[in-house]
Amino acid sequence: MPDIPIVGSYFSTSGPLGIWTPAVAISLNIIAAWIIVALIRAIAYLRAPKYDLFKLPSPANSGLILGHAKALLTRPDYHRLLLECARECGSIFRLRLLHRHVAVIMDPAAAAHVLSVVPGRPHSYGHVDEVLGGRGVHSMFGTSDEVHWRAVRKATAPAFAMANVRRYFRGVLTAAGELLSRLEADMKGQEGGEGEAEAGSDPRVGGAVKVEMEPLLQRMMLRATLEGLLEVPDATRVPGFDTLAPSIVLLMAEANAQITDPLRALWYRTPLAPLCSKHVASCRRALREVTDFHTRTAAAILARPDPAPTNTLLWACLHRLRDWRGGSSAGASGGEGGRLSPQQLHPEVGMYTTAGFDTTASTLGWCLYAVALHPGHQRALLQELRQYGIFPPECVVTAVRKKNKNKNKENNEKKKNNSESCSHGGKAEDPETKRDTEAEAVEEEETEEAAGRAVELELDAGRCPGPEELARLPLLNAFVWEVMRLFPTAGVSAERLSPTQPVRLPSGLTLPPGVSLWTPMYGLHASDLNWQHAEEFRPERWLEDPHCAFARTLPDNNNNTSTSSSTAAAAAAAAPDVSGCAAAAAAAAAGGGGGGAAGGFENTQRGGGAAHAEEGGAARRFMPFGEGPKNCVGQNFGIAVVRAVFALLLRRYYIALHPNMMGELLQGAEGAAEGAAGEGGEEGGCLVSCLATRTAALTQVAVATKLRRLRLVLSRRQE
C-alpha cells in the first residue's frame, strides 16, 4: 500500500479521518458508482427513441419529482380522477409516476388492440400470486412466463364450455341453499333478540333485518367454486374451509397494499417483518393455511383415477396438466413434461379458487347495491321473475323435512317387507309399533325445527332454472350488464407491458418499449367520451340497442330511426303501467331488438356484436371480462352464478340498504339536490352526479373493486 499514496491515505486508518477513513472512502466509492450507472442509464434513456410518447397529452396536476403519483395515491377514489383526466386530455393520455411513464387508454379501439396484441403483464400481478401462494410462486394469472400462461390456458379453457357450466351449476345451487340457510338463521336470531344490534339502532328496520352480505357471498362463491368447478364433495366438511375465506380476504388486502406501496412489499419479505408486525404475522399464518388447503385440494385431484380424454371438466383438465418446462407441447394432454406434484399444481388450484371468489362475489354485491338503490327496477325485475316462473317458492325445500321424508320412505319400505313376510306366513306388523314409528318421525321433525335447524334450506334442482333459462331473461340480463358497466369489478386492474417491442395504436401513434399501457375498465365504461349519460344507471340502454356493447358516434345514438325502432317505441308507449326498464323490454321484444340482454352473455359479447363490429367497424366499449387471449377464462361460469344467485335473492327477499349505509351514501347530498327523488323518477334516489361521487367514496379500489361494506335490509316476500 505505501507504493500507492491514495490507497495508503484513504483506505487505511492513517487517513485524514482516522479509523473512519476506510468506511467513508468505501461509501463514497459506492455512491460514485451508483451515480455513474444512473448517468449511463439516463443517457441511454434520453438517446432511446420515444416514438410518440410525448405527443400524448398529460394532466396539469403533475409534481416536479413525484409526477402524478401523489394525486393518485392520496385519493382513495383515484378511479374517478382518471375520468377527470380524460375530460381534460381526451381518451388517451400520459401519466408520470416518478421516472416511469404510463399511457392510460380509454379509447375502445385502442384498448381492445392493446389487450389483444400486447402479451406482457407488469409485476403488480405477481404480487397477488406471491402474497397468496408464497415467494416465487406464480400461477397463470400472475406469471410473466408466456410458456407457462399458454400451457395452463390451453389445458383448462375447454373446462368452461357451456355444457360443463350446466354440470357445475349443481354446485352453485348447493352453495346458494347454504346462503339462504344462513340468511334465515340470521333473521331468526335477530327476531329473537340474539342478533348483534348497533348502538342506538334496532336490528329490525321496518319489519326486516340487517345483513352483512359480503362475507356470506364470499363463502357462497368459495363453496360453489370448490363443489362446482373442482367437484370437491361437501366442501364445508373439508378441514380449513371455514377459515379459508377470511384468510384469502386478509391476503388480498395485503397484496393490494403492496401494489401501491413498493417499500411495503420489500419490508413484507424480510425475516424481521413477522416479528415486528402482528399484521404480517397474521398474513404469514393465513398464507400457511391457504397454501395447505390448496395443496391438499390439488393432491385430492391428482389422486383421482385418470379421466377419460373426452372429460373436459376443470378437475380433469388440471389432472392432465403437465410440466410446461418439459417441452414445447407441455400443458396439453400427453405433453412431454412430467406430471405435476401437488406442490406444483396448488398455484393453479388457488388461482381458480381465488379469482372467482373475489370477483364474482363483488359483482353480486354491486347487483344487490344497485337494486336496493332503484326500487322501480326491483319491482320490474320481480315481475319478470314471477312471469317466467324463475325460482318459485316451492323450489326452496327444508333439508330437515327432506331427511325425515327419506326416513319415512325407509319406514314404508320396511312396512312393505313386513307385508311380504306376512303373506308368506310371517308375523304381521304390530299396529301399535306402526303408530309409534310415525309419531317418532313427526316428533323428531318438530324437535329439530324448534332447535333452529329448520333454516337448513336446499334448492330443488328440478324446480330451479338452468343457465340457459336465466340467459333469456331480458330485464335480468340488462340489469346485470348495466351493473357490470357502471361498477366493473376489475375496474382498474387491466394493464399490459411490452418490454422489448414498440406498440402501434390504431390511431397511428407508436409507444416505446417498456411503457406501461393501462386500460382501466372503469374509464372505458364510465367515460362521457364513450357513453351517453355515462354515470346514469340505465339498464334500458341494453334493451333499446342490441349492439350497446359496441361504440358508435355518440351524437347519433339518440337520432337513429328505423321501422323496428318505431314499432318498439309504440310498444313502449302501450305499456304505461310498468317501469321504464320493463317498457323498454316490451319495446325490444316488439321491435326485434334487445338481443344483447335477451340472448344473454353469449349473444351480447360474441355473436351479434361481432357481426356488428365487422359491418360498422365499431370497437367494443364494454369489456367486463377483458378482451383478447388473456380475457377471463371462467366468464361463462361467473356470469351464470351472478344471474342465478341475484335472481334467487331478488325473488325471495325485498332488498334495501341499511339506514346507516344509506346515511353514508347521502352524506353531503343536501347541497347537491334539495329533496331530490333522483333523475329518471327513481324514488328514494339522489342526483346522478351526487350518487356517483358518494358511491366512489364507499368503494375500495383494488385488484377487485368493491364496496368497503355492504349492509342490507332483507325482508321475506309474501307470494
356 in Cβ contact with 643 (< 8 Å)? no
Q: How far is CA 590 from CA 103, 446, 627, 644, in A?
A: 44, 52, 32, 26
CA distance 49 to 443: 84
Q: How far apart are CA 692 and CA 712, in angstroms?
A: 19
Provide the grid cell at 314: 376443470
As a whole number of angstroms, the distance between CA 620 and CA 112 comes to: 7
Q: Is 194 exposed, middle or buried (0-12, 13-18, 19+ CB in 10 A)?
A: exposed
- Contact between 259 and 703 under an 8 Å Cβ cutoff? The reply is yes
And the C-alpha cell for 392? 318459485
Pairing of strands 457-459, 495-497: unpaired
Helix (H, G, I), strand (E, B) or coil at 586: helix
Separation between Cα atoms, residue 125 and residue 626, nearest integer Å: 15
> Element (H or E) spanning 398, and its range?
strand 396-398
Alpha carbon distance 655, 27 (integer Å): 65
Alpha-carbon gap, residue 713 to 697, rounded angstroms: 21
632 labelled ligand-binding = yes
Distance CA 385, CA 582 (A): 12
User: DSSP characters for 76-134?
Assistant: TTHHHHHHHHHHHH-SEEEEEETTEEEEEE--HHHHHHHHHH-----THHHHHHHHHH-
Q: How many of the other CB atoms lie within 10 Å of CB of 432?
A: 8
Positive or negative CA dihedral for 193, 199, 204, 206? positive
Strands 100-105 and 516-518: parallel
Q: Which helix (DSSP H) or strand (DSSP E) does residue 687 occupy? A: none
Classify 206 in phi/psi space as left (phi over 0), alpha (psi -120 to 50) or beta.
Answer: left
Stated length of the chain: 719
Q: How far apart are CA 654 and CA 381, in angstroms?
A: 11
Give, as one character, the DSSP assignment of residue 473. -
DSSP string, 253-271: HHHHHHHH-HHHHHHHHST
Query: ∠ at Cα 291 (285, 292), nearest 5°?
Result: 90
Query: Closest Cα to residue 625, out of 617, 635, 615?
Result: 635
CB 495 within 8 A of CB 121: yes
Strand stretches in 564-698, DSSP E: 653-657
d(CA 320, CA 329): 13
Q: How far apart are CA 227 and CA 239, in angstroms?
A: 15
Torsion angle of the four alpha carbons 330, 332, 338, 343, in this order, in degrees rounded to the nearest 10: 100
Closest CA to 677 of 659, 690, 664: 690
Which has the closest alpha carbon to 355: 699, 636, 632, 639?
632
For residue 169, with 0-12 CB atoms within 10 Å meaning exposed, 13-18 middle and 19 or more buried, which class applies? buried
C-alpha cell at 305: 383415477
Binding region: 632
Binding region for heme: 632
